[in-house]
DNA sequence: TTGAAAGCGCTAACAG
DNA sequence: CTGTTAGCGCTTTCAA
């Protein structure tokens, strides 16, 4: 056994042992240049090449030029894997969402992707397909391959999240707030949004409302429903019918007949997709909107302006959430702390799908 | 200088030298367990721990249990970075698209995300914001942090792609085909789609058509336009008006008045978003669809069924593209080759936005 | 400013 | 079946 220097400076030429089975295991795409090869070609040490590649100012310009030339000539690209290991950071951030087909999460993805991209970071994305348990696993996994995480997990139980808090950190929670969790959260004030909707509707003389409920267990749905119930109880005379529905177009579409039958003058949909679906369904049934029944959505997805009639809905700062999430991550990664939680106050957008209650 | 064994088996206790500035550089989140610590705790070698963690069958069950217990007790999680370096692969695949807000790319993202997720791989996503040059840079960068790449780059010039072919490999191209490029491609037969649209329209007696053109430089737009022109020239008497438009709702919306003025009986939109926009615009102008003018889309995005009237459009296998892309990547990564290129043949979906030409 | 050396944490060929 | 050993390719003290 020979004492090694810990690194193979001298092993460039084949030693006594049989040449390592070529093409089998080589981490690099076959003949990819390594820092050692560049160093050799430029006649400097690996440390110097490293410095040059990382733009250290304290390198003799002439040397630097030589190194750059050698790197160029060899088509050298630093190994991301090796840097990750040596540096102890990945240069990536991760996003975990329940469902990539949901416009809400798409906006966050987009905002985050752009912000992270501008900062020169990779973005890892994972989708749990609405399975809360899977979500947590994915989050852990994603977190191991990144430096920080944005988690949208409307269904996972509070305790589960609290239990995993430090294995997930640093991370930020979006569209949700969990008490006692040590992570910044960016969420929506659902109650305020519902409040605005209801007072708009009440102002138009609507008394009997239906709520097209979102998925069971969704934190957003729970809050919206609770707000509605509270309003119905406290209010002067609002009568609330809750209809189980879902979160997709089809769900809303399928609920149209139940809406028509239950004799309400206005329907508050869990979100814009459901609202659009019910709009279409109602039209097919010959029910006039907003003449006979008014419809409201939630979220203000891009399509909401293009339904017929255009959807009155609650607007929330979707892509802002992505951007903010990035800011928080950045803070967290720099050890600056994640800042205060924020609850975005939604804004009611009155378009054509609501009007006076029929006499 | 002392002869090292190449790895710090013996350095668990602080040596003579000053304890490395704590909390500054440590690759692991402070006190994270390493394979060495686990090995020590279980009284075995690191190789054995590695074997156990990777489920090698040739490990004494009793030892394996001991190792697992130790790992558990120490909250050990293998370092992804170290594995990447040692293994020479990242375990991730990447997707680069021009625009994450485009439903077309969202579907690919989704299909790919699910397929890759099921296979236990991470997914890296990057968005170029429609800048073809940026796209190529991002692709290179993404590729360095993954094992294979799916590239949607409708605008980058053919030569550019050919030039970078081997630095990008293994990769697959979606929604596009580039001659002489050594990468499988999955694309749409745009001409066939347009053909179906035109014959449907012609069958309804439409003679004067407008094309709402997509972005300049988009490969898909070019093909659709070329097909339309060819048909207009060859055809019995189709008169084509090309209107510059774009790819978004707003673009279609804004084009409505030009459509109304140019006296056509049918408009073929670049895609569904444009079609939806023009539908809304036309309605606002009091133009009846399909009574006065028929409208067709392209892509069959989820929302197309929910416009008013529902959109007649060309359906393409969007999420299939994502799944297939994954299959190809898998093949490529296993050295099986990427298979033949495929051009998906679109299908015309006749819904309510088209009808007989007005007399 | 530069180089030598010592890792980062894991895997795998090889020998026993 | 298990341990030893030699890396994977890069960064970063530390000393010159």
Q: pLDDT of B157-171, one tens digit each?
A: 899 999 988 899 999
Q: According to the model, what pLDDT value does residue A335 have?
A: 86
Quick one: three-class SS letters along chain A?
Answer: CCCECCCCCCCCCCCCCCCCCCCCCCCCCCCCCCHHHHHHHHCCCHHHHHHHHCCCCCCCHHHHHHHHHHHHHHCCCCCHHHHHHHHCCCCEEEEEECCCCCHHHHHHHHHHHHHHHHCCCEEEEEECCCCHHHHHHHHHHHHHCCCEEEECCCCCCHHHHHHHHHHHCCEEEECCCCCCCCCCEEEECHHHHHHHHHHHHHHCCCCEEEEEECCCCCHHHHHHHHHHHHHHHHCCCCEEEEEECCCCHHHHHHHHHHHHHCCCCEEEECCHHHHHHHHHHHHHCCCCCCCCCEEECCECCHHHHHCCCCCEEEECCHHHHHHHHHHHHHHHHCCCCCCCCEEECCEEECCCCCCCCCC
Q: Is the pLDDT of residue A5 over 90?
A: no
Bridge pairing between strands A122-127 and A92-97: parallel
Residue A303 pLDDT more than 80? yes
Backbone angles phi, psi at B142, to 5 degrees: -65, -40
Domains A92-188+318-345 and A190-316 share a fold: yes
Q: Which residue of B has its CA nearest to A81?
A: B85
List the B331 CA – D9 C1' distance (angstroms).
28
**Strand C proximal to A19 Cβ, under 7 A:** no
Nucleic strand C contact set for A 28-87 (CB, < 7 Å):
43-48, 51, 58-60, 63-64, 82, 85-86
Q: Which residues of B touch A124 (CB under 8 A)?
A: 92, 122-125
Q: What is the mean pLDDT of residues B172-193?
A: 94
Residue A3 has pLDDT above 50, yes or no: no
Query: In CATH, what is the architecture of B2-86?
Result: Orthogonal Bundle (1.10)
- CB-CB under 8 Å, B123 with A113: no
Candidates A201, A273, A211; CA nearest to A236 is A201
Nearest to B127 among A6, A113, A306 (CB): A113
CA–CA distance, B297 with B115 (Å, rounded to integer): 28
Look at residue A105 in the predicted model and tell me its pLDDT.
95
Closest residue of chain A to B142, computed from CA coordinates: A122
Q: Mean pLDDT over all residues of chain A?
A: 90
pLDDT tens-place string over residues B313-358: 999 999 899 999 999 999 999 988 888 999 999 999 999 999 999 9
Across A39-55, average pLDDT: 96
| Burial category of B236 from C-beta neighbours within 10 Å (exposed 0-12, middle 13-18, buried 19 and up) | exposed
pLDDT tier, B112 (very low <50, low <70, confident <90, very high otherwise): very high
pLDDT of residue B10: 31
Average confidence score pLDDT of chain B: 90
What does the pLDDT read at residue B339? 86
The C1' atom of C5 and the CA atom of B80 lie apart, in whole Å, by 26
Beta A208-213 vs A239-244: how paired, if at all?
Answer: parallel
Every domain of chain A and the residues it spans: 2-86, 92-188+318-345, 190-316
Check residue A150 and give its pLDDT: 97
CA distance A160 to A152: 14
> Which residues in A lie closer than 8 A to residue B113 (C-beta atoms)?
100, 125-127
Q: Mean pLDDT lowest for which of A73-77, A130-134, B233-237? A: B233-237
- Rounded Cα gap, residues B143 and B123, in angstroms: 11
Count of A–B CB contacts within 8 Å?
Answer: 146
Q: Are B116 and B93 spatial neighbours (Cβ–Cβ below 8 Å)?
A: yes
Comparing every residue's Cα with the C1' atom of nucleotide C2, the nearest one is A48
Give the pLDDT band (50/70/90) at residue A73: very high
pLDDT at A30: 58
Residue B18 has pLDDT above 50, yes or no: no
Q: Does A84 sit within 8 Å of B81, measured CB to CB?
A: yes
Is the pLDDT assigned to residue A8 strictly greater than 80? no
Q: Which of A4-13, A186-195, A278-287 has the lowest mean pLDDT?
A: A4-13
Q: What SS3 state is found at B59?
A: coil
Largest CA distance in chain B: 97
Closest-CA residue in chain B for A169? B29
**The pLDDT of residue A31:** 67
- What is the model's pLDDT at position B20? 34
Nearest-CA distance B111 → chain A (Å): 10
Q: What does the pLDDT read at residue B30? A: 57
Segment among A223-227, A331-335, B2-6 with least mean pLDDT: B2-6
Examine the pLDDT at B11 and tell me if it is beyond 50.
no
Give B48-106 pLDDT, tens digit per residue: 999 999 999 999 999 999 999 999 999 999 999 999 999 999 999 999 999 999 999 99
Q: Which of A69-83, A306-320, B20-34 has the lowest mean pLDDT?
A: B20-34
pLDDT of residue A14: 31
CB-nearest to B277 from A27, A92, A306 is A306
**Facing residue for A81 by CB, picked from B85, B249, B308:** B85
> What pTM was computed for the model?
0.89
Q: Give the largest CA-CA distance in chain A.
A: 97
Instruction: Could you please state the CATH topology (level 3) that the domain comprising B190-316 is classified under.
Output: Rossmann fold (3.40.50)
Q: Are A276 and A303 in contact (CB under 8 A)?
A: yes
Superfamily of domain A92-188+318-345: Response regulator (3.40.50.2300)
Report the protein residue whose CA lies nearest the C1' of nucleotide C6.
A6
Provide, rounded to the nearest whole percent, the portion of chain B with pLDDT above 90.
Answer: 82
Question: Is the CB of residue B84 inside 7 Å of nucleic acid strand C?
Answer: no
């Amino acid at each position: 056994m020979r004492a090694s220097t810990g690194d193979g400076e001298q092993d460039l030429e084949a030693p006594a042992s049989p040449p390592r089975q070529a093409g089998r295991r080589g981490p690099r795409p076959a003949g990819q240049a390594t820092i050692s090869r560049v160093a050799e070609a430029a006649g400097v040490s690996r440390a110097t090449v490293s410095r040059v590649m990382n733009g250290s100012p304290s390198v003799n310009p002439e040397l630097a030029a030589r190194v750059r030339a050698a790197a160029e000539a060899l088509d050298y690209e630093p190994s991301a894997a090796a840097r990750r290991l040596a540096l102890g950071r990945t240069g990536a951030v991760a996003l975990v969402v329940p469902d990539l087909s949901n416009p809400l999460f798409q906006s966050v993805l987009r905002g985050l992707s752009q912000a992270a991209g501008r900062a020169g970071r990779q973005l890892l994305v994972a989708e749990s397909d609405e399975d809360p348990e899977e979500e947590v696993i994915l989050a852990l996994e994603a977190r191991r391959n990144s430096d920080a995480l944005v988690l949208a997990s409307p269904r996972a139980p509070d305790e589960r999240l609290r239990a995993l808090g430090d294995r997930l950190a640093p991370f930020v929670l979006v569209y949700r707030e969990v008490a006692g969790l040590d992570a910044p959260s960016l969420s929506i004030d659902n109650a305020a949004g519902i409040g605005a909707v209801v007072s708009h509707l009440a102002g138009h003389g609507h008394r009997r409302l239906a709520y097209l409920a979102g998925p069971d267990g969704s934190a957003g749905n729970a809050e919206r429903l609770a707000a509605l119930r509270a309003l119905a109880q406290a209010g002067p005379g609002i009568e609330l019918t809750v209809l189980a529905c879902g979160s997709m177009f089809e769900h809303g579409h399928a609920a149209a007949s139940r809406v028509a039958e239950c004799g309400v003058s206005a329907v508050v949909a869990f979100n814009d997709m459901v609202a659009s679906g019910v709009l279409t369904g109602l039209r097919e049934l010959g029910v006039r909107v907003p003449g006979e029944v008014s419809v409201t959505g939630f979220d203000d997805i891009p399509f909401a302006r293009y339904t017929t009639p255009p959807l009155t809905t609650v607007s929330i700062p979707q892509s802002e959430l992505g951007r903010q999430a990035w800011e928080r991550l950045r803070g967290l990664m720099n050890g600056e702390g994640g800042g205060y939680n924020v609850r975005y106050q939604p804004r009611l957008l009155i378009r054509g799908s609501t009007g006076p209650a029929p006499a």
